[in-house]
């Protein structure tokens, strides 16, 4: 979760939306680079470079905002570590899925992650949700089953790359949802800068720990792509942060789904992937369920604000 001070006004909202669309493009480009690199570079090595080179943009951004060194102060170093472990597992599963499936397929499956947050928040944070949001979760999961159906129709076997990729992408979505729960707890005492910095720092060390399992010595082009993967990922994180600074989450969140447009374009022009109709249908169902939850949250927020002003909400 990214925190920030929202501003009012259509111009500020447009700026926030622009930052959100930019972050979606950045992370989609990063995913395409990971897919290219995974053909020759071990995933642990990709994780190391993605995490290490995400740090320079972040540190420059914190310097510009004059938040160093205070932004790196933490009261929960071990909580940051465990958040990094879960986040790193999600990253590895996502990268593995990208190595096996077309970019749009992975993107569509990952979209279910925000819906998985709802039951996790109910279990671990005690958050309550009504029948409408639970119904949206069910609809979203049905959309994922639609996406997965061609790849899992024959069962799961070690030699079935499409099936393994599908399961990996879905598992990555679950890990990302767990990360959201971790971050919600961290935001009670930690700054956004600290949360992002310690994730990248710990992930760099954990990625480096995979060195004995067989890294390659990258050539010039491969090294450049590895560095770009990290830099673009770091810039994408900053763009997300800025989007929530200029507009409320309910305004910018739906534009996360422009990721699907970028994925389809990059998948076609870079990898020659023609999207399957079943993937498009499933993705549409999942996105619709997510947007319904976003709009529902916005409506409930408005109702709570009205109740507070009337003195009837506590």
The pLDDT profile of the chain, 314 residues, written as one tens digit per residue, is 344 444 457 788 899 899 999 999 999 999 999 999 999 999 999 999 999 999 999 999 999 888 888 878 888 889 999 999 999 999 999 999 999 999 999 999 999 998 898 888 888 878 777 888 889 889 999 999 999 888 776 555 555 788 899 999 999 999 999 998 888 888 888 888 888 899 999 999 999 999 999 899 999 999 999 999 999 999 999 998 888 888 877 788 889 899 999 999 999 999 999 888 999 999 999 999 989 888 887 776 666 666 555 554 44
Q: How far apart are CA 39 and CA 34, in angstroms?
A: 9
Domain that includes residue 155, residue range: 10-310
Residue 78: per-residue pLDDT: 92
Question: Does any domain span residue 1?
Answer: no
Q: Before 69, cis peptide (omega within 30)?
A: yes
Domains identified in the chain, total number: 1
Question: Does any domain span residue 102?
Answer: yes
Rg (CA), the chain: 20
| Sign of the CA dihedral running 42, 50, 261, 142 | positive
Question: Does any domain span residue 3?
Answer: no
Residue 309: per-residue pLDDT: 54
Question: Does any domain span residue 232?
Answer: yes
Residue pair 170/144 in contact (Cβ under 8 Å)? The answer is yes
| Sign of the CA dihedral running 110, 184, 299, 127 | positive
Question: Does any domain span residue 5?
Answer: no
Question: Does any domain span residue 238?
Answer: yes
Question: Does any domain span residue 264?
Answer: yes
pTM: 0.88
Residue pair 276/49 in contact (Cβ under 8 Å)? The answer is no
User: Tokens for 71?
Assistant: 């932004």
Residue 313: per-residue pLDDT: 40
User: Tokens for 172?
Assistant: 């990555």
Question: Does any domain span residue 227?
Answer: yes
Name which of 3, 55, 92 is nearest 201 in CA terms. Answer: 55
């Amino acid at each position: 979760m990214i925190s920030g001070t929202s501003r009012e006004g259509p111009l500020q909202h447009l700026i926030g939306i622009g930052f959100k669309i930019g972050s979606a493009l950045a992370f989609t480009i990063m995913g395409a680079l990971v897919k290219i690199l995974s053909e020759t570079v071990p995933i642990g090595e990709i994780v190391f470079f993605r995490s290490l080179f995400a740090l320079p943009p972040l540190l420059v951004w914190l310097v510009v905002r004059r938040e160093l060194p205070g932004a790196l102060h933490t009261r929960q170093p071990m909580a940051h570590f465990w958040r990094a472990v879960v986040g790193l597992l999600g990253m590895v599963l996502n990268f593995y899925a990208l190595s096996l499936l077309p970019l749009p397929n992975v993107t569509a499956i990952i979209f279910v992650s925000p819906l998985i947050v709802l039951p996790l928040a109910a279990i671990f944070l005690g958050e309550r949700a009504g029948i409408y949001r639970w119904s949206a979760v069910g609809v979203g999961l049905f959309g994922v089953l639609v996406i997965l159906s061609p790849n899992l129709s024959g069962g799961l076997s070690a030699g079935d790359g499409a099936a393994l990729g599908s399961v990996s992408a879905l598992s990555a979505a679950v890990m990302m949802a767990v990360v959201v729960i971790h971050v919600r707890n961290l935001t009670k005492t930690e700054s956004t800068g600290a949360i992002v910095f310690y994730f990248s720092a710990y992930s760099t060390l954990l990625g480096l720990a995979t060195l004995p399992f067989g890294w390659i010595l990258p050539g010039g082009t491969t090294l450049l792509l590895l560095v770009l993967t990290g830099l673009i990922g770091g810039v994408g994180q900053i763009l997300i942060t800025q989007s929530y600074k200029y507009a409320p989450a309910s305004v910018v969140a739906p534009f996360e789904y422009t990721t699907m447009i970028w994925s389809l374009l990059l998948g076609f022009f870079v990898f020659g992937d023609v999207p399957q109709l079943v993937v498009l249908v499933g993705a549409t169902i999942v996105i619709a369920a997510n947007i319904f939850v976003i709009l529902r949250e916005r409506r409930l927020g408005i109702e709570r604000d009205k109740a507070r002003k009337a003195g009837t909400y506590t």
